Amino acid sequence: MIEIRKANTPSLLKEYVKFPFSLYKKHPYWVPPLIQDELETFDKSKNPAFESAEAHFYLAYKDNKIVGRIAAIINWNEVNLQQKRKVRFGWWDVIDDIEVTKALLEKVYELGKANNLEYIEGPMGFSNLDKVGVLTEGFDEIGSMITWYNYPYYVTHLEQLGYVKEKEYLENKFPFSNVLPETFYKAQELIKKRYELTPLNFTKTKDIMPYVDQMFDLFNTSYASLASFVAITDVQKEYFKKKYISFINPEYIKFIVDKNNTLIAFGIVMPSFSRALQKANGKLFPFGFYHLLQAKKHSKDVLSYLIGIDPEYQNKGVTAIIFNEYYNTFQPKGIQDFIRTPELEENTAIYNMWKHFGQVTFKRRRTYRKEL
């Protein structure tokens, strides 16, 4: 018999966070999150996503043992402002038992129906800066700190329960040796002069902070045309500023400003923390912090996290400036692989941006949908 319990106490929520550690124990490609970071993500007093969203967390038990988990989420900005009458599910992990998956999803249906919503979609988080998608290809590739890993049977469960593909996401990579400066150096010099643009490089995180609010505003503007986009609020800007910016090497953040010092483009690239997080196994202490610090300093693989260009400057070659700045930073460091985090298949502009570097799609993931 399957029993579903709400994870509504600190001890149960910790069990919720720790369940994947047993499900994927010693798995070579699963990347554990930091337990404390996950707990703060689910804390209403710390995560501003709860100002415009609600979430309920559930554990599935069989023979008095945890066998699955799921989050039922409503993003009220999405429902009320965009008129997308959708209930989300996320942070879904389960043993290979479709009846457990079915029982967990029933709790999400209940939330959707109670609020007169029309369909369910997932897996996805609270916002566009959370993890998204169930892995459908690339099971023999290591995950990252900003993606979920899952066993192949997750897809089978959803499709057998009548779910259909909603959004497809691709993950691409290319060897940094494919980046040849002659393909963009002359162009970026001309573009800087023509539009009076200046690239900004940093060595200290504190020097980045005055531009971060502009960056999130530009993020909202440059991604607004994507069908699944929900804008980042002012409160969320402050949260993500504290949560992520200090985690990233300052020299891996690139800004481009116009003659009025207004931000018109940005790029955020992170060192790969995958192996370090596997060694940390969810804990910063006693040794996890050391492993993460070593990866921050010495990782030879990098992940492109976000890139945004003001619509007024799109299709004007501004990416050549961004490429040149990253080349100048990464070439002396001996960076080996440039990995791109999940991007919507429909976002053709982003694929055209990288087309000259011999990119290969090494993972695919998708969200699934079902009418309520």
- Report the pLDDT averaged over residues 287-309: 94
Please write the tens of the pLDDT for every residue from 210-219.
998 899 999 8
| Spatial contact of 308 and 218, defined as CB atoms under 8 Å apart | yes
Does some domain include residue 139?
yes
Check whether residue 26 and residue 136 sit in a common domain.
Answer: yes
Contact 127, 112 (CB under 8 A): no
- Give the three-state DSSP class for 234: helix
Question: Is 372 part of a structural domain of the chain?
Answer: no
Task: State pTM to two decimals.
Answer: 0.93
**What pLDDT sits at residue 227?**
65
What is the total count of domains within the chain?
2
Confirm whether 145 is domain-assigned: yes
How would residue 228 be classed by pLDDT, with cut points 50, 70 and 90? low
Looking at the structure, tell me whether residues 38 and 103 fall in a common domain: yes
Q: How far is CA 193 from the centre of its chain?
A: 35
Helix (H, G, I), strand (E, B) or coil at 91: strand
- d(C-alpha 127, C-alpha 181), whole Å: 36
Same-domain pairing of 17 and 62: yes
- 């979609």: which residue's tokens? 121
Please say if the pLDDT value at position 40 is more than 80. Answer: yes
The answer to the question of residue 160 being in a domain is yes
Among 120, 150, 169, give the residue marking a domain's end: 169
CATH number at residue 200: 3.40.630.30
Helix, strand or coil for residue 326?
A: helix
Domain that holds residue 139: 2-169
* Residue 88: closest CA among 108, 103, 113, 114: 108
Q: Which of 137, 169, 201 is the last residue of a domain?
A: 169
Based on the fold, state whether residues 192 and 237 are members of the same structural domain: yes
Query: Of 134, 150, 169, at which residue does a domain stop?
Result: 169
Same-domain check for residues 23 and 79: yes
Please tell me the predicted confidence (pLDDT) of residue 233: 83
* 370 located within any domain: no
